[in-house]
Each structure stands twice: as C-alpha cells, then as structure tokens.
C-alpha cells in the first residue's frame, strides 16, 4: 500500500519504494536481506511522516546525491541565460567549485563554511574577497532551493567589511608625471581611464565598431556589471579619439592594415604592462599606486566638479550607491576646505544677524 511502501529485489539488492504527496520515490537500500531492507524502508517512512506533519523537511534521494559542483554548474548556466556571465562572476564561481565542489550539498554544514572562512582570512585574504566567494556559494544553494532540488541551505556567515573604503587615487601632478614616463602606446589608455573611470579590461575590449558619431558604447558583455553604457566623446575624450584614429593604421611586414581595437600595442589589444607601470609610478614618486586608482580618481573628480552622483555612476558603471561611495574618497584637503567654507558661511550669517540687530 502507498502509505506503507514496499521493498523489491533488483538482482541481489533490495530496493525501496515509497510516496510523498503523491510522488513515488525509489532508491536502493544497499541491503541484501529482506529484514535489513525493511528497516531501511521504515526509516524512510518515518522521515516522510515527519515532513507531512511539518516537523522536518524530507530530503529526497536525488537531493542526497547532489554535489556543490552540480549546484555551481547550474548557477553558471543560469548566469549565461540571464546575461550575468561576466568574467568576475565566472571567476568567483570557479573558486567556489574548486573549494566546495567535492562536498555533497546536503552534507555541507555551517561549521565547515566557518572553517573555510577562517582559513582564508588566516591566509591573508581580505573579508571582502572571502565574502564574494561565500555569497556566490549561497547563490548556488538558493537557485537549487527555488527549483525544488533542495529544501535548505547551510548558514553562511557574512564578514564585516568596515574599513574597506578605497584609499588610493592620483593627484593631477602625479597623473601627468606617470603619463610622461609611460611608453607612447599606453599614454592615451591611461588618460582615458582617468577621464571615464572605466575599468582596465573594459577599455581593452573597446573597438571602433563601438563608436557611432561622437558616442562610444561599452557592450554589456564587456562590462563588469553586465550592463551596456554610453560615453559621449567630448572635450579631452574627443582629442584622445582623434589621436587613436591616427594610430589605427599600422604597417606590419610591409602590409598596411587597420587595427580593430581603439587602444592597442602594435596592433594587439593592450595586455599586462606591470613593469612599465611600476617604472612610471616610481618616477612620479607614488610607488605602489594601482591602475585601478585611476577609477577612484575619476569618480572623486566628477563629484568634486559638481556632477550629480546618479550621472557619475552612469559614467563609471557603478550599480549601487554604497559601492560608489567607497570610491568617492575624502582626504584631509577636502576636510580643510569644508571647514573653511563652513566658517565663511557662519561669519556671513553672523554679520547678517548683527546688521539686523543694529537696524533695530
């Protein structure tokens, strides 16, 4: 009977059959004797009964076999369907697969996740870096739950990222000196980054097909956040494009050809230039400054110039206000100017009050 389930032989091993909410489940008991197979079936029926009265969720045989690797593969397919398969997402997902893929999903515990976090921190990884990985692990489980493959996920701790505000940016003088000490074919690349706040890999992907009139469009598949954005080529950006057009035509082994990429080095996309960058930043007396600091500089400059934050975020490609604020760095000079402006305002208001009193 359905309520009692049954056992049956397949070869020399007994299998069990039972029902939950009208659906039949079949699985091997792994037992070769009828008595042991019956005990296995009774244990399964108790689990089914606990689910029916709501005291515990039943874990299906299929869910028991699911690995975290399979969850990661499913999330990757979901990212591709939704256009969220950015290089960063896939990189983090690969790390999840490498670190957790061997676990059975239902067997992964909060304690094991905590030990993983402790080991990463002890190894020198920043809390924000660890969070990106554990958040992706959580997404793997949530997708499986939404699809009905799992009933629960382990508790995954989120580390505090306080004090993670970005600290580096270039002054105009430092930037000018860095550019002066870079190879010629990298100078406009750096100028463009400082003006737009665009990420290095995004700039590397730009081709002449991305320009229509005086507007450049970064394709969604080349954007870190997966969303396309447009950049009007005005002012300095227009001058940069004029120089890049002049550098588009190159001669290789006696053959003249037009380069596809806006920024290139001998016809090839811009790759790594760590040695050149280190030489240039040393010459500018700002060793250790990162290329990514140009992005912080651009965001800060836009805000200080009076650009509305929403517009600045459209240009830089930030999706959240909290993330953008980490790039809008305030230094001692900013604080000094703010206090001076406040003092001037108070003195002006005090003078107005004094004039009103005197008129009475």
Give the model confidence (pLDDT) of 142-172 as tens digits: 998 888 788 788 999 999 876 555 557 788 8
- How far the first Cα of the chain sits from its last, in Å, is 100
Distance, in Å, from the CA atom of 245 to the CA atom of 239, rounded to the nearest integer, reads 10
Q: Which residue has the tokens 């304690």?
A: 111
Question: Could you tell me which of 329, 330, 300 has the C-alpha nearest to residue 312?
Answer: 300
- For position 185, what pLDDT does the model report? 95
Is the model more confident about 128 or about 342? 128
117-149, pLDDT tens digit by residue? Answer: 999 999 988 898 999 999 999 999 999 888 878
Average pLDDT over residues 225-243: 90
In words, the CATH class of domain 172-326 is: mainly alpha
- For position 353, what pLDDT does the model report? 77
In this prediction the pTM is 0.54
Distance, in Å, from the CA atom of 349 to the CA atom of 344, rounded to the nearest integer, reads 9
- For position 285, what pLDDT does the model report? 93
Q: Which residue has the tokens 């706040």?
A: 197
pLDDT band at 204 (very low <50, low <70, confident <90, very high): very high
pLDDT band at 18 (very low <50, low <70, confident <90, very high): confident
b/e burial code for range 106-118 (CB count within 10 A of at least 16 → b): bebeeeebeebbe
45-104, pLDDT tens digit by residue? Answer: 887 787 777 766 666 676 677 899 999 999 999 998 887 887 788 999 999 999 999 998
Length of the chain: 360
pLDDT higher than 90, residue 113? yes
Query: Which of 33-47, 159-173, 225-239 has the lowest average pLDDT?
Result: 159-173
Q: Which residue has the tokens 């709501």?
A: 54
Cβ burial, residue 9 (10 Å; 0-12/13-18/19+): exposed
Query: Which of 113-117, 198-202, 289-293, 342-346 has the lowest average pLDDT?
Result: 342-346
Distance, in Å, from the CA atom of 62 to the CA atom of 147, rounded to the nearest integer, reads 13
- For position 218, what pLDDT does the model report? 92
Question: Could you tell me which of 232, 236, 238 has the C-alpha nearest to residue 215?
Answer: 232
- For position 1, what pLDDT does the model report? 47
Encoded tokens for 251: 């001669």
Encoded tokens for 207: 């081709």
Q: Which residues, listed in sequence order, are joined to residue 252 by a DSSP beta bridge?
A: 255
Query: What number of other Cβ atoms are within 10 A of residue 237's Cβ?
Result: 17
Q: Which residue has the tokens 């980490």?
A: 326
CA atoms within 13 A on the CB side of 35: 0
């Amino acid at each position: 009977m359905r309520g009692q389930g049954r056992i049956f032989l397949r070869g020399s091993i007994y299998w069990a059959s039972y029902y939950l909410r009208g659906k039949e489940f079949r699985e091997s008991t792994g037992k070769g004797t009828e008595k042991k197979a019956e005990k296995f079936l009774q244990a399964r029926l108790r689990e089914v009964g606990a689910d029916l009265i709501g005291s515990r969720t039943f874990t299906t045989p299929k869910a028991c076999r699911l690995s975290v690797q399979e969850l990661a593969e499913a999330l990757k397919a979901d990212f591709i369907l939704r256009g969220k398969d950015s290089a960063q997402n896939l990189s983090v997902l690969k790390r999840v697969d490498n670190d957790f893929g061997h676990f059975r999903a239902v067997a992964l515990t909060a304690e094991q996740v905590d030990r993983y976090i402790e080991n990463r921190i002890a190894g020198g990884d920043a809390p924000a870096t660890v969070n990106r990985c554990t958040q992706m692990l959580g997404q793997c489980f949530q997708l499986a739950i939404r699809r009905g493959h799992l009933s629960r996920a382990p508790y995954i701790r989120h580390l505090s990222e306080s004090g993670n505000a970005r600290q580096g940016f270039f002054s105009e003088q430092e930037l000018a000196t860095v550019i002066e000490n870079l190879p010629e074919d990298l100078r406009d690349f750096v100028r463009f980054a400082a003006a737009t706040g665009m990420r290095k890999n995004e700039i590397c992907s730009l081709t002449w097909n991305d320009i229509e009139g005086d507007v450049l469009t970064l394709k969604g598949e080349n954007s870190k956040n997966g969303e396309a954005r447009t950049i009007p080529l005005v002012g300095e950006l227009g001058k940069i494009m004029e120089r890049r057009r002049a550098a588009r035509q190159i001669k290789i082994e006696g053959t003249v050809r037009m380069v596809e990429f806006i920024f290139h080095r001998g016809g090839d996309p811009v790759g790594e230039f760590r040695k050149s960058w280190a030489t240039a930043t040393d010459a500018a007396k700002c060793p250790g400054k990162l290329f990514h600091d140009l992005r912080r500089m651009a965001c800060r400059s836009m805000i200080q110039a009076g650009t509305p934050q929403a517009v600045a975020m459209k240009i830089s490609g930030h999706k959240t206000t909290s993330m953008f604020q980490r790039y809008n760095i305030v230094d001692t000079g900013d604080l000094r100017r703010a206090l001076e402006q406040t003092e001037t305002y108070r003195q002006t208001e005090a003078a107005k009050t004094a004039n009103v009193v005197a008129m009475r």
